[in-house]
Structure 1
Amino acid sequence: MKNLTLLLTVLFAFQFSNAQSECANVEKALQKYMEGSSYNKPEMLESAFAENATLYLTKRDGSFNRYSPKEYVGFFKNAEKGKFNGRDAKVLEIEVTKDIATAKVEIAGPERKWVYIDLFLLKKFENEWKIISKTATRIDGPNEKSVLLIVSNAHYYGDTKLNTGNSFSEIVNAYDVFKNAGYTIDFLSPEGGAVPLAYINTSDEMSKKYLYDTDFMNALKNTKSPSEINVSKYKAVQYIGGGGAMFGVPENEAIQNIVMEIYEEHNGVISSVCHGSAGIVNLKTKDGKYLVDGKDVSGYPDDFENKDKPYFKTFPFLIKETIEKRGGTFHFSESGKPHVEVDGRLVTGQNFLSSKLVSLKVIELISANEE
């Protein structure tokens, strides 16, 4: 029985790994389509399609037409090659069955003045996936309000093999608040791509709801890297907690620049929850001062860390200690209670219980900015 269990485990792991690999290969074909169409690269765009692929698209006059790949690529040939044309693309969903696959991609224009959902049928030819059919539809009511949730790629505490990740509870609570308020939510990580998740409780209705939401989970599988971010579209950012938040994010200068540009150039809101407050300790304003200097701040306090545990010894710095050294006043309540601090356009929360409250306050500040 033990041997059978081991065999089944190995087979499942192999199948899962193989499925993940095929999804990644499908995404390569989609990336050719997205980059080729967004940056006016006709050769790259055409290489995403099988030679005899068929595209079914609706023209502006309402007529439904069939196009070949060459005809479709022709739409982009007169534009400046290599220049971003405002088409912001992201993969929403991929499903693979042996040598065929379906995929869904969102294409949004500047400030989301228009949004399309592209639906693809792909097939594997020898060792390469190609698009064999595509259609698209425009979504009514384009959404110009976007927020950026910042997550970590760290799977382990420091250089150890102690597992860590991003707090699933904090992610889903923030996501749900912003989504219900009509916002578009993007995920940003230092490296982009899939991120590790921690503290998943399927007995929690909110967590269960999003764990089985294909579009949501695919967004976490395809987080944006800093180079993919169009800063002008975001009204706010939120640093997500979990042990992984201590690694890779706080020292990432590209993320720091994105966040401070949103804050200073676009009057945006910066927020963080729990260990996510590690992400704000290195932020500096244009005059060289630390963002937290002179501000009331919260986050997961050093006082509640288990200092005898191996995980704690991997921390590159302490959140409360660093914030106080850099001029901030750190506030927190007793363990297991929500606590939120608001200082101007900086909103911080103590723990996962504060996630919803922080997000609601962010929306309130965004609304006040627009009045």
Structure 2
Amino acid sequence: MKNIKFNLIALISLIILLITTALINLTVDPFSVFNSSLFYKFNKIKPELKRQERLTKVFYSILNKNNFDTIILGSSRVDYGFDSEYYFKKTGYRTYNSGIKATGVGDGLEIVKKLVHKNSNLKQVLLGVDFFAFKKPPEYLINSKDQIISTKLNDFASILLSLDAVECSINTVLYNLKTPNINIYDKNGLKIMQKDHNAYNEALYEVGAYMNDELFYKNYKPWTKQFEDLQEFISICKKNNIKLIVFVNPINVAQLQAIKTTNNWQNYKNWKKKLAQLTPYYDFSGFNSVTTEPLSKNMKYYIDSNHYLKITSHLMTDAIINPEKRFEHKDFGIYITNDNVEQSNAKLDKDYNEWSKNNQILVKKINAIKNW
């Protein structure tokens, strides 16, 4: 009898603990996946979005699959720069920015697979691709569990009933009490750039990081798996009547010089050629009236040499939707196919030679950064 009473008390206590945990996590919603009510100095600002970006954006896209019919996928370049609200205004498609730091085609593929499996309203996918993401990473990263591919997207109870999530909820409330006015993302998933930003310093820092890090340009070797993932991506979209729009992100020419300095120029051209063999794409990189913006403290189109501002994505959207109606920056966004990619690469060589002759100070500075 005592054992039954003890077990009953233990069971009731466990149920109360689980309910309390779920209520705390649901009310605070530290990962912004349940669309819970927002209250000033309580849970309006979500600091965990930055710390747990992969988890939050993936879960949000699945839980809110009926709130959008277009999803934008890609790395932090998309995360920071692509304005889904502007895309909605121009196209009428409800759009969510699911760009996530340091992700590749395979990560986006897994998100689309889950959305298709969940019978979402997905009609369009905009996929931003990057040269660095097609580099074979170190073995320890290939085998890492910290990947979208291994995220248990169906296990939403892991958020509601997790004590780790309770800790994140507490951190969220404390953060809101201290800094209640600093947002990290807008309502459509676009990361908000904070004030006191020096684009020039950040641009050179990004150049150095990409040249000297094994994750990016250093010891670059193409990764065939990313091309295989892209082929599967194309097939899934075609099979499910989802329009796929692929684009190369518009890195500043300082990053192109970093690619040149690290002896990856031919790898870069081969990458663009291989892309064209699989699918047509919009190329916003190269040398044009946007990407050649000189580095400065306050830039019009860039946060740094890697990440672009919302206004840049507006030009990208215009180039994709109505290229013939543009009045400026008509050289920004070239539609590349297997028929014109060789011509495009030849122009890339010519444009680089001309640009480098006129920008030797920056060329020498980037060459020096590589040797730091």
Q: Could you state the TM-score of these two structures normalised by the residue count of structure 2?
A: 0.30
More strand by share: 1
Question: 1 or 2 for the larger relative contact order (CA 8 Å, sep ≥6)?
Answer: 2
More helix by share: 2
Q: Could you state the TM-score of these two structures normalised by the residue count of structure 1?
A: 0.30
